[in-house]
Amino acid sequence: MKIIKTKFKGLLIIKQKLNKDRRGYLRECFNDKILKKKFFFEYYTKSKKNVLRGFHFQIKHQQCKYVNVLKGKILDCVVDLRKNSRTFGKSFKIILSANNCLGLYIPRGFAHAYFSYEKENIIYYKLDNYYKPLYERGLRWNDKDLRIKWPIKKPLISNKDKKLPSLKEYLQKK
């Protein structure tokens, strides 16, 4: 495994080790000696092609997330919501796939979303805090101020995500 820093403080790309032979492969997704983080909550999602989930975050009991794609390919995107950060309000995008063996470590204070490219996409998360629906918030996926170019104009989105506010609207309500 190799850690690659981004221009966002604490946001890390993890190049995972893949051992392949004629039988298949073994992929080392996490090693606490390299990515020195403590996780105790895990889950996975399965998304169909053209599904967009997010942007989601928790205002209390915030979560660090380590995102991996076990099957398929996604465009993973985060928005920095840390008010004292020099990258506040800016976004970062990366392709994560079963083929490229990249993971993304997202520190607390980021909103997270992803778009699914393939027929079946399985995304595996490690988190350092539990899901608390009472504190869940989100941002509109197509907020013009975020200037995020998604692969398609009309992705499949949950009704809940369609009703999320823009970043400006969210900050005004706070």
Report the catalytic residues: 56, 125
Angle formed at CA 159 by CA 172 and CA 92, multiple of 5 degrees? 60
Strands (E), the chain: 2-5, 12-15, 17-21, 24-28, 41-48, 52-58, 65-71, 73-80, 91-97, 102-106, 110-116, 120-127, 136-138
